[in-house]
């Protein structure tokens, strides 16, 4: 049960007479209603009410939703209150210089159960007084309520005033009843701009307790609702924690993985230093074949300052660029783009997250720019998202790159799990005006903790097992 449901349940208990015990010494509600009837007769004589206000609209058995204590009575709200509707003013009749009477125009004037004043009028006509119940009856915030806490106000059409006809009707109890029925009242709101009609308020069936019991109910509600609010805040914090927990767990597990603490090391594994020697030998062969220059054999040492955490003895820190092949997207002409399936599918940076595209291009490019299902892609603008492409073959557009691990030394899935860590670190440091950009220079400066190849496979297997369990938690 969330806080709102708990609040609703407490309000319902209150208006059904089950929140507090009844006192047989209380003067019954039937006597209060007789006093109110006489008070209304007096107001009619004084011209403050009309004769029709003396009419009592009966409540049929079918309209009674629940049983109430014997000392209570069912009555229409119209028999207990006056309902005042507001009047709008044109701009020339109100001001922001605090001249005249506060002018309440709508929900924006009600904040945390109190009035917020930003307009005044020197020609008030529909007057609210301290102790009146204000209800937003139209527009944004319909159903919002507060007790007037200043001596005098003027209300606009978006506000209605509920004012008790007798001191034996506690406005705070009326507020409890209206609050308990608010969902039903608001559901009847009609029009392009939803509005609560006067009839919906006046015809509301009120379970009316003795005056003394009204006071006890109000006191109990005032005691309980702050606790409900506190419970709601605690629940919100717990819900937030529950939402964040899977991602926190994932991040923690991935960190364990890249630091060599997720699976045990096997002394029989071929160490990563041997893998690095393979890289050197491959480069030497490429130099001999004329595919690389001698300067490409120069290794950039990794300083102690560049190493963010310790790794096992069988691992090595190395330059990511030596372990992968990177293909940057082709600068296709955007005038050839379409979503009519004309030409060949095209992967743009916005297609990384969904791993699918609706864009086609009629322009042709070299075969190497064709991405196949299972290729790993990185978005080079924005959040630097990473994905394995899941859709059919498509061209690779600029600002997206394909990264392929050299299988003899680096497991593609190990790279997939490590790369977001490195990209997040770069993301923190990249300066930008509107969007952050990833460049070839960034890839050339990336470092990777390289485990033995066999351990990389064990890490991937363990990660997929644990991350799968976390995904189940989400569901």
Axis-axis angle for helices 171-180, 3-15 (nearest 10): 120
Mean pLDDT along residues 41-70:
87
Q: Would you state the pLDDT for residue 43?
A: 85
Mean pLDDT along residues 321-347:
96
The backbone region for 425, taken as left when phi is positive above 0, alpha when psi lies in -120 to 50, beta otherwise, is alpha
The strand pair at 145-147 and 344-347 is best described as unpaired
pLDDT (tens digit, 9 = 90+) per residue, 241-299? Answer: 888 888 899 999 999 999 999 999 999 999 999 999 988 888 888 888 888 888 877 77
Q: Would you state the pLDDT for residue 475?
A: 67
Mean pLDDT along residues 17-42:
93
H-helix segments, 110-210 = 171-180, 182-187, 198-202
Q: Would you state the pLDDT for residue 351?
A: 97
344 SS3 class: strand
In the structure encoding, which two tokens stand for residue 175, read together? 């507020």
Which of 47-51, 186-190, 226-230, 406-410 is predicted with the least confidence, judged by mean pLDDT? 186-190
Model-level pTM?
0.64
What's the rounded Cα separation, in Å, for the pair 223 and 442? 60
For residue 172, is pLDDT > 70? yes
Which of 62-76, 176-190, 380-394 is predicted with the least confidence, judged by mean pLDDT? 176-190
3-state helix, strand and coil shares in percent for the chain, rounded to the nearest 5: 40, 20, 40
Mean pLDDT along residues 95-118:
94
Q: How many CB atoms lie within 10 A of CB 294?
A: 9
For residue 190, is pLDDT > 90? no
Q: Would you state the pLDDT for residue 56?
A: 82
What's the rounded Cα separation, in Å, for the pair 334 and 354? 21
Which domains are delineated in the chain? 3-211 (3.90.220.20), 267-456 (3.90.220.20)
pLDDT (tens digit, 9 = 90+) per residue, 197-234? Answer: 899 999 999 999 999 999 999 999 999 999 999 999 99
For residue 65, is pLDDT > 90? yes
Question: How confident is residue 91, by pLDDT bands cut at 50, 70 and 90?
Answer: very high
Q: How many CB atoms lie within 10 A of CB 431?
A: 6
What CA dihedral angle connects 419, 422, 424 and 428, to 10 degrees?
A: -160
Which of 9-13, 116-120, 243-247, 351-355 is predicted with the least confidence, judged by mean pLDDT? 243-247
Mean pLDDT along residues 83-95:
95
Q: Would you state the pLDDT for residue 194?
A: 73
- Could you write out the DSSP letters of every residue in 225-259? HHHHHHHHHHHHHHHHHHHHHHHHHHHHHHHHHHT
Q: Would you state the pLDDT for residue 381?
A: 94
Q: Would you state the pLDDT for residue 414?
A: 98
What CA dihedral angle connects 143, 149, 150 and 151, to 10 degrees?
A: 100
Q: Would you state the pLDDT for residue 192?
A: 65
pLDDT (tens digit, 9 = 90+) per residue, 423-475? Answer: 999 998 887 778 899 999 999 999 999 999 999 999 999 999 999 999 887 76
What's the rounded Cα separation, in Å, for the pair 465 and 65? 54
């Amino acid at each position: 049960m969330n806080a709102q449901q708990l609040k609703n349940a407490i309000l319902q208990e209150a208006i059904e007479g089950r929140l507090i015990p009844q006192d047989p010494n209380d003067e019954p509600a039937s006597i209060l209603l007789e006093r109110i009837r006489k008070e209304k007769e007096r107001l009619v004589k004084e011209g403050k009410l009309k004769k029709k206000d003396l009419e009592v609209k009966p409540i049929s058995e079918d309209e009674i939703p629940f049983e109430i204590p014997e000392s209570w009575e069912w009555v229409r709200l119209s028999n207990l209150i006056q309902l005042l509707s507001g009047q709008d003013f044109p701009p020339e009749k109100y001001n922001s210089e605090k001249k005249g009477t506060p002018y309440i125009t709508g929900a924006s004037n009600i904040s945390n159960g109190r009035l917020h004043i930003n307009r005044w009028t020197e020609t008030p006509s529909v007057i609210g007084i301290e102790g009146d119940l204000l209800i937003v009856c139209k527009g944004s915030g319909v159903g919002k309520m507060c007790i007037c806490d200043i001596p005098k106000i003027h209300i606009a059409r978006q506000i209605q005033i509920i004012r008790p006809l007798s001191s034996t009707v506690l406005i705070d109890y009326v507020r409890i009843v209206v609050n308990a029925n608010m969902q039903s009242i608001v559901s009847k709101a009609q029009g392009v701009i939803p509005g609560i009609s006067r009839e919906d308020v006046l015809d509301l069936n009120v379970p009316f307790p003795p005056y003394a019991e009204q006071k006890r109910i109000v006191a109990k509600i005032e005691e309980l609702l702050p606790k409900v609010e506190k419970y709601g805040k605690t629940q919100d914090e717990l819900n937030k924690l529950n939402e964040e927990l899977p991602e926190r767990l994932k991040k923690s597990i991935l960190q364990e993985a890249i630091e060599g603490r997720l699976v045990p090391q096997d002394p029989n594994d071929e160490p990563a230093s041997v893998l690095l020697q393979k890289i050197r030998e491959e480069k030497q062969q490429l130099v001999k074949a004329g595919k690389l220059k001698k300067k490409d054999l120069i290794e950039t040492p990794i300083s102690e300052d560049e190493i963010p955490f310790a790794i096992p003895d069988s691992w090595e820190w190395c330059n990511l660029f030596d372990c992968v092949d990177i293909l940057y997207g082709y600068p296709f002409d955007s005038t050839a783009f379409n979503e009519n399936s004309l030409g060949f599918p095209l992967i743009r940076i916005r297609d990384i997250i969904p791993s699918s595209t609706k864009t086609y291009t009629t322009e042709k490019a070299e075969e190497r720019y064709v991405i196949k299902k299972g290729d790993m892609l990185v978005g080079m603008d924005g959040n630097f998202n990473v994905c394995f492409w899941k859709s059919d073959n498509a061209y690779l557009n600029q600002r997206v790159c394909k990264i392929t691990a050299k299988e003899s030394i680096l497991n593609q899935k190990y790279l997939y799990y490590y790369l977001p860590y490195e990209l997040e670190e770069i993301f923190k440091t990249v300066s930008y005006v509107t969007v952050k950009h990833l460049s070839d220079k960034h890839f050339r400066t990336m470092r990777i903790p390289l485990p033995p190849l066999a351990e990389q496979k064990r890490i991937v297997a363990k990660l997929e097992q644990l991350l799968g369990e976390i995904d189940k938690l989400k569901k």
